[in-house]
A = this chain, B = another copy of it.
Amino acid sequence: MADVAARAGVTKQTVSNVVSGKKVRPETLAKVNKAIAELGYKPNLVARSLRTGSTSTVGLFVPSVANAFYSEVVEEVENLLVGRGYNLLLATTRDDPDYTRAHLENLTARSVDALLVAGDNGVEQQLPMLAEANFPVALFAWEGDPPTTLPVVSIDYQHAGFLAGSYLRDLGHRNVAVIADLPAHTPRIVGLRRAFAADGLDERMVFACTSDDAAGGFAAAGAALEADPELTAIFATHDVLAVGAIEAVVRSGRRVPDDVSVVGFDDIAQVGRIRPALTTVTFPKREMAQQAVELLLRAVDSGRPPTNVVSLLRPTLTIRDSSGPARRDRSAPGTA
């Protein structure tokens, strides 16, 4: 910068004014721009950040990006941030609190202006401290109990589960299995069970998945079918598990949805086009990302802490081809 100033015959300050688009006489502007071009000058953003105290970067914590739900969220957040002139520093939590805590220290040491945290991850204890230190934080897609001192944008997971449960119940399903990411997804299951309150939903029919991918859903659904061959419906606590569950049902010689209905959760992009197209609880991801980013950046821009609000978006049920009325007969299903 000093070099540019010298070459243009002005001071650093004038160069700074040119770079940041302040009022400069056209004549001076030309001189300075010429010098900038000749020297290939690029302002050092780190120095600017040190001086201004702002990095124009927002940190985002997600459990994983490989998970389609979160990758769609990340995409949306990145777009929103860039649109408002911020960069995205991405960190995965891997559901590992120690690891996450270490990363948290890093980012909040002035590397980022604010923090967006998706999904419960065992660092709930640390987060309120940040808020107290006047560091803007917003939570979203939070299924457990979030700290009360921080703003949250999420959905009512219990209600979402209730939506799926009511639907299955109204279709006449009584023998329902749940395959689940436990314990994280417990609220969805509680909601589902509430829909069956009168009839009960056998607690033994909740199967924890060993892995949170399609293979895990496949295995858990297989176990469920073995435990109760009269099963007429499977609720998967997220879509990827549901994809594996459909496969398991078909492999067992049953049909979806004729013999067994399968309902998922999240409505990730792919499941609308698989066969059979998946009936699932649609999570308004984009709207959630928008609200969370909006909330956070408003705080950053104004220099005040974010509004402490719990904003619950409404999930909906998207009915496709993987679900239908419960089979009436109790005979063994077959290829007959």
Contacts and interface: CB of A to CB of B under 8 A. Distances in A.
A89 interface: yes
Nearest to A40: B133
Q: DSSP majority for the A interface? A: helix
A66 B75 contact: yes
A65 interface: yes
Contact of A275 (B105, B250, B273): B250
A218 interface: yes
A68 interface: yes
Contacts of A40: 133
A213 interface: yes
B46 A108 contact: no
A243 B65 contact: no
Interface in A27-84: 40, 42-47, 49-50, 55, 57, 64-66, 68, 71-72, 74-75, 78-79, 82
A42 B129 CA distance: 13
A91 B82 CA distance: 9
A307 interface: no
Given A106-B45, A250-B275, A64 B57 contact: no
A307 to B, nearest CB: 25
A273 B243 contact: yes
A117 to B, nearest CB: 16
Contacts of A316: none
- Which of A40, A66, A68, A215 has the most chain B CB within a 10 Å cutoff? A66
Contact of A72 (B66, B270, B275): B66
Interface string A212-251: 0111011000000000000000000000100110110010
Given A46-B50, A68-B71, A247-B273, 13 more contacts: A42-B109, A44-B110, A45-B109, A50-B50, A65-B65, A65-B74, A88-B89, A89-B89, A213-B273, A214-B273, A215-B273, A240-B270, A270-B270
